[in-house]
Amino acid sequence: MQPNSTIMLVVLLLAIPEHCNEVVFDLYWGYPSNGRDYLDASCLMFNGQQFNNLCDYRHRNHCTAIRHSGDVMDDLNRKGHHTMNVTLKNMPSNVTHLFFTLSAWCSPNISRYPNPSLKFYEASNPGKDLCKTTFQHAGSYQAVVMCSLSRGMYGRWEIFGSGKCSAGNAKNYEPLQTTIRSLIAQVFNTICNLIRIQNIHRCIVCIQ
């Protein structure tokens, strides 16, 4: 490791079972003290390190495999709600990573939104949370990469927890794209290389 380099921790949480076809990213938040505002749930799709597509409150139909609820606002109880339903088997083959992010819209950081709650679950089993990543540490940041779905070596989807803080929001995704590219380059590529080395070692053992 190079001096002064940054460690980006990504944790493999779960390999999605073959029978699982739909997962849900479900976010609630409270209004800031100055009134209605949005804590945006977005999904940024990548093919390797190349940005591929986007799903958020404005871009709800860019990818037919993801349905975004749009802004569901309860002014009486001062609560906002976003959901994204992801149909895995409909995901285009050129999408290798889906990164799920939270970002502050008008407020300067995430801490301005009281009582946020997030669940990531299989549509048929909403009681089981698939992402244990918390975002209390991200309060002073504009955005956070919560978790991702990535295709494994044999095409099977895997869930990774992240919690990587970032600049950027739904008005300007470029800082988030830069953060995600760093995650892919430093973490996911390393994981793939380790798997390849393990497979080569197994082949050598078999030959011997």
Instruction: Decide: 146 and 101 in contact? Cβ < 8 Å.
Output: yes
Residue 186, SS3? helix
125-128 own/partner pairs: CB under 8 Å, 24+ apart? 126/24
Structural domains in the chain plus CATH codes: 11-207 (2.60.60.30)
- For range 98-117, the mean pLDDT: 96
> E strands along the chain, which residues?
11-15, 22-30, 39-47, 50-55, 66-68, 72-74, 79-87, 97-104, 117-122, 125-129, 143-151, 157-166
pLDDT surpassing 60 at residue 208: no
Q: What is the pLDDT of residue 199?
A: 42
pTM, 2 dp: 0.84
For residue 93, how many other CB atoms are within 10 A of its CB? 8
DSSP structure string for 113-136 = S-S-EEEEEETTEEEEES-----G
4 compared with 161, residue with greater pLDDT: 161
Beta bridge partners of 84: 25, 68
- For range 89-112, the mean pLDDT: 95
Among 23-37, 86-100, 118-132, name the one with the lowest average pLDDT: 118-132
Distance of alpha carbon 25 from alpha carbon 56, whole angstroms? 12
Q: What is the pLDDT of residue 171?
A: 97
- Length of the chain in terms of residues written: 208
pLDDT surpassing 80 at residue 117: yes
Q: What is the pLDDT of residue 138?
A: 87
Q: Which percentage of the chain shows pLDDT scores above 90?
A: 63
